[in-house]
Amino acid sequence: MRQITKVARAFNVTQPAISKQIAELERALGTPIIHRQGNSIAFTPAGAVLVRHAKDVLNRIQRTEFDIEALRKGLGGTVRIGVASSLMPTIVPEAIRLMIQAAPSSVVTVSEGHFGNMLPMLYTGDLDLLVMRIWKPFALEGVEQLSLGREPLVVVAGTGHPLARKKDIGWETALEWPWMKAAAGSLAADGMNEFLAEKGLGPMPSQIEAASIVLSLSMMRLMPCLALFPERLARYHSARGELSILSLNTSGYLSESNCFWLSSETDETVTLFRECLVQAARDLFDD
């Protein structure tokens, strides 16, 4: 009942009004959509299906709203974004597709790199937005930021790697092998060093510094090295028999993806692309 009370409060209606709506939905569907668990409620399988479709409908409505708004304003121009390598194959392509759909005359220019070398470009106006993974929350003067969602990074290796056949692997063992690691001074590198330090381990050995998904895939075919991939991308390549996901706990390392922009930014085309990023992230992370 507490959950129904929270919903009623959020929509500024009474609890009986919410309960009535639920009852009407259940009558219309001919099946229960919630069941009580002590003082709380949970969705039935039918309710979970309803929620999934409702989210899809809301997402489509939101897309339609900003598509129409963009067309109404006749938005065009160029949006220049800096993106972390691990987000290139995930959030960014869908955000660009949404942007071109909403504002066909716009141009999206994408640069790949790490936070340390792209933040100065944001301050100088050479980039409009940064889309990066962060290790821990932090504030920047004159910069707004928005969390797009969370997705774990996992450790991967080529299918022929000796560790690919082992179930119980410790970080001490993993650090004995070559790694595709992020560039020194990047958020990813600093975060990994802090992550390992919390486990009482030294920094990752410096062997191959290149935060590139494409290069990592190629190197793992050629030699027994390890890399960090976004979980969904790792599962995609694992299903294709191209790599193996190792049983190493990354404990949330770089799992949060954030968008950064200058507080003084008022360009409507940039704002629209930011909305496209939010929508793309919602599609990715809310499955």
What residues does each domain of the chain span?
2-68, 74-149+256-285, 153-245
Residue range 192-212, pLDDT digits in tens: 888 889 889 888 776 788 777
Return the CATH number of the domain spanning residue range 74-149+256-285.
3.40.190.10
Residue range 1-28, pLDDT digits in tens: 446 677 667 667 777 777 787 788 878 8
pLDDT band at 284 (very low <50, low <70, confident <90, very high): confident
Cβ proximity of 284 and 232 under 8 Å: yes
Residue 86 in tokens: 């691990």
Give me the phi and psi of 149, to 5 degrees please. 150, 180
Q: How many C-beta atoms surround the C-beta of residue 132 within 10 A?
A: 26
The whole-number average pLDDT for the span 108-112 is 93
Q: Do 153-245 and 2-68 have the same topology in CATH?
A: no
CA distance 211 to 113: 8
Nearest-CA neighbor of 180 among 209, 152, 157? 209
State yes or no: pLDDT of 71 exceeds 70: no
Query: What is the predicted pLDDT for the residue at 243?
Result: 93
Query: What is the predicted pLDDT for the residue at 146?
Result: 94
153-245: which CATH architecture?
3-Layer(aba) Sandwich (3.40)
pTM for the predicted model, two decimal places: 0.69
- The fold of 2-68 is Arc Repressor Mutant, subunit A (1.10.10)
The whole-number average pLDDT for the span 259-278 is 90
Q: Which of 205-209, 225-229, 278-282 has the lowest mean pLDDT?
A: 205-209
CA distance 287 to 285: 6
CA distance 223 to 30: 58
